[in-house]
Amino acid sequence: MKSVLSLCIGLLINLTVFSQSEVYVAEATQCLNVTGMSAHYESIFETCFKQMQDQYNKLDIPSETWAEFKSVKPEALANVNNRLVAVYSDYFTLEDVQKMNALYRSSAGQTMIKNPNALTKKDKKEIDRFYKSDTGKKVVNSQSGMNEKMQVISDFWCGEMYKQVNDKLEAKGYTIR
């Protein structure tokens, strides 16, 4: 009986942790989307892919082959998203991320992201109030560390994509060596 009760409690704890992590991933992903980070990484993907195409330009690789390789884009973006969410979890709690989302989704937050010069006095007060909060202070204090980690992720991610495409091209008989 004790072991059944222990098992039930263990499963309940695991389900709670799992659902909390699902919520965290969803909230952090929303934060990445609303701040433009997801679009930034989509742009990085396109740039890396274009560089690979340019590098292999002399080999006359059919567009169908490139389309086949480019079809990994959703998977690649999901992969980098998971890595970025992990960086967020190093610095922010679920509550922090929810507060960040509230700011970034607000009119003031969207103006801050898209056109900071257009901020009104009211917007500036709202943003200032956020950055004076504990969460806002965490955002400010974490910028350097987060930027370093995100740069490492970008570099590694691009290199990983390049290697995967290069290996697939070489398997098809194309090589730049």
Query: Does the pLDDT at position 18 exceed 90?
Result: no
- Predicted confidence at residue 60, as pLDDT, reads 87
CA separation for the pair 49, 43 (Å, rounded): 10
Q: How high is the mean pLDDT of the chain?
A: 87
Helix (H) or strand (E) holding 84: helix 73-91
Give a three-class secondary structure readout of the chain. CHHHHHHHHHHHHHHHHHHHHHHHHHHHHHHHHHCCHHHHHHHHHHHHHHHHHHHCHHHCCCHHHHHHHHCCHHHHHHHHHHHHHHHHHHHCCHHHHHHHHHHHHCHHHHHHHHCHHHCCHHHHHHHHHHHHCHHHHHHHHHHHHHHHHHHHHHHHHHHHHHHHHHHHHHHCCCCCC
Confidence of residue 108 (pLDDT cuts 50, 70, 90): very high
Q: What is the pLDDT of residue 133?
A: 97
